[in-house]
C-alpha cells in the first residue's frame, strides 16, 4: 500500500499507461543492486530512487575525489574524502526517504559476488573495468539475476541486458556477456578514463538509460535489451542498436554445459 505522500510523489507513474499502480507497487517491492557509485552509478541511483525502487544496494570501495565531480553528480564538493557508498546513501535519503539504502563498502570480487548479488532482484553494473564486469556477469548467471550493464569511454557508450539463464523465443539460450566479449582484454589494452578522459554528460545519458532498463525489467513494459546492444556516439550524436546472439562456445551456458567460471578481481575501479 502507498501512503498519501507516496501517491503524490509517484502520481506521474501511477497515471502512466504501462506502469500504473500495479507497476509502481512492483517498483516499491523491488530490490536493485548497483555496482559502482561513480559516473554511471550517480544518475542510475538518482533515477532508481526517484522512481520508488523499495531497496537499493550500493557496492563500491572508493572515496569521493575532486576529479570525480565532473561526472559523478550524486556527490558534491563537501563529500570529498567520504566513502562513495555513504555519500550515495545520504543523497538518496535526501531525494526519497521511502527508499531503503544498503551501503556495501567493498570491491566486488569472485570471492564475494554471489553473496552480495543474491539478495537482490536486479543487478545494474556501472563499473569501469572488464574484470569487475566479468565477475558480475558470471555471478548473475549462476544466481539467475537479470543484469543491466553499461560502459563508457571518452565519447562512446554501450548498454545491454543479460538473462543468459533463460532461453530465447527460438529455444536457444540467451547470450551471455562472454558471447559479446569472450575473454578480458590484456592488461593495458583498455586504458582507464584517467588516461583517455570521459565526457561527463555522456555518463549521465548512459546512467539514466541503465535506470530506464532496470525499471523496465521490474515493471515489464516495452521490449528489453536482451540480445540487443545499444551503442551511443556522442561525437556524432548517433544511437545504434545491434543484435547479438548466443555463442555455443561460451563457457557459461555454451554447448559444453554451464561452468562455475569467474574472473578473480584484484585490480580496477568500480565506477566511471
Q: Give me the tens of pLDDT residue by residue for the chain, a chain 272 residues long.
A: 899 999 999 999 999 999 999 999 999 999 999 999 999 999 999 999 999 999 999 999 999 999 999 999 999 999 999 999 999 999 999 999 999 999 999 999 999 999 999 999 999 999 988 899 999 999 999 999 999 999 998 899 999 999 999 999 889 999 999 999 888 777 665 666 667 889 999 999 999 999 999 999 999 999 999 999 999 999 999 999 999 999 999 988 988 765 655 554 444 445 56
In a domain, 181, yes or no: yes
In a domain, 1, yes or no: no
Q: Give pLDDT tens digits for 190-207.
A: 666 667 889 999 999 999
- In the prediction, which pLDDT does 2 show? 94
149 by DSSP, 3-state: which? strand
pTM of this structure? 0.92
In a domain, 2, yes or no: no
Q: 67: domain range?
A: 9-243
CATH of the domain at 122: 3.40.50.720
- In the prediction, which pLDDT does 183 show? 81
- In the prediction, which pLDDT does 272 show? 66
b/e map 209-244, b = 16+ CB within 10 Å:
bbbbbbbbbbbeeeebbbbebbebebeeeeeeeeee
Number of domains in the chain: 1
Q: Which long-range contacts (CB under 8 A, 24 or more apart) does 109-114 make?
A: 109/135, 109/264, 109/265, 109/266, 110/135, 110/138, 110/139, 110/262, 110/263, 110/264, 110/265, 111/264, 113/138, 113/139, 113/262, 114/139, 114/142, 114/143
In a domain, 254, yes or no: no
- In the prediction, which pLDDT does 48 show? 98
In a domain, 272, yes or no: no
In a domain, 261, yes or no: no
What is the C-alpha separation between 45 and 235, in angstroms, rounded? 26
In a domain, 227, yes or no: yes
Name the packing angle between helices 200-219 and 41-51 (round to 10°).
40
In a domain, 56, yes or no: yes
Amino acid at each position: 500500500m502507498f501512503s498519501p505522500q507516496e501517491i503524490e510523489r509517484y502520481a506521474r507513474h501511477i497515471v502512466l499507461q504501462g506502469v500504473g499502480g500495479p507497476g509502481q507497487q512492483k517498483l516499491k517491492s523491488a530490490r536493485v543492486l548497483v555496482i559502482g557509485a561513480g559516473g554511471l552509478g550517480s544518475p542510475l541511483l538518482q533515477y532508481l530512487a526517484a522512481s520508488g525502487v523499495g531497496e537499493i544496494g550500493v557496492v563500491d570501495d572508493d572515496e569521493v575525489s575532486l576529479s570525480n565531480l565532473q561526472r559523478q553528480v550524486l556527490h558534491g564538493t563537501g563529500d570529498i574524502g567520504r566513502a562513495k557508498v555513504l555519500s550515495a546513501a545520504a543523497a538518496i535519503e535526501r531525494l526519497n526517504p521511502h527508499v531503503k539504502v544498503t551501503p556495501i563498502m567493498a570491491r566486488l570480487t569472485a570471492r564475494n559476488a554471489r553473496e552480495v548479488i543474491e539478495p537482490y532482484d536486479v543487478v545494474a553494473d556501472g563499473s569501469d573495468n572488464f574484470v569487475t564486469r566479468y565477475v558480475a556477469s558470471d555471478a548473475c548467471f549462476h544466481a539467475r539475476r537479470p543484469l543491466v550493464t553499461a560502459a563508457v569511454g571518452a565519447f562512446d557508450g554501450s548498454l545491454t541486458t543479460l538473462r543468459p539463464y533463460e532461453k530465447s523465443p527460438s529455444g536457444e539460450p540467451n547470450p551471455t556477456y562472454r558471447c559479446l566479449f569472450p575473454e578480458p582484454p590484456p592488461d593495458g589494452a583498455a586504458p582507464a578514463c584517467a588516461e583517455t578522459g570521459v565526457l561527463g554528460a555522456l555518463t549521465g545519458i548512459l546512467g539514466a538509460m541503465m535506470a530506464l532498463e532496470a525499471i523496465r525489467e521490474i515493471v515489464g513494459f516495452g521490449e528489453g535489451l536482451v540480445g540487443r546492444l545499444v551503442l551511443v556516439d556522442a561525437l556524432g550524436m548517433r544511437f545504434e542498436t545491434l543484435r547479438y546472439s548466443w555463442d555455443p562456445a561460451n563457457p557459461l551456458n555454451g554447448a559444453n554445459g554451464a561452468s562455475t567460471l569467474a574472473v578473480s578481481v584484484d585490480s580496477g575501479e568500480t565506477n566511471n
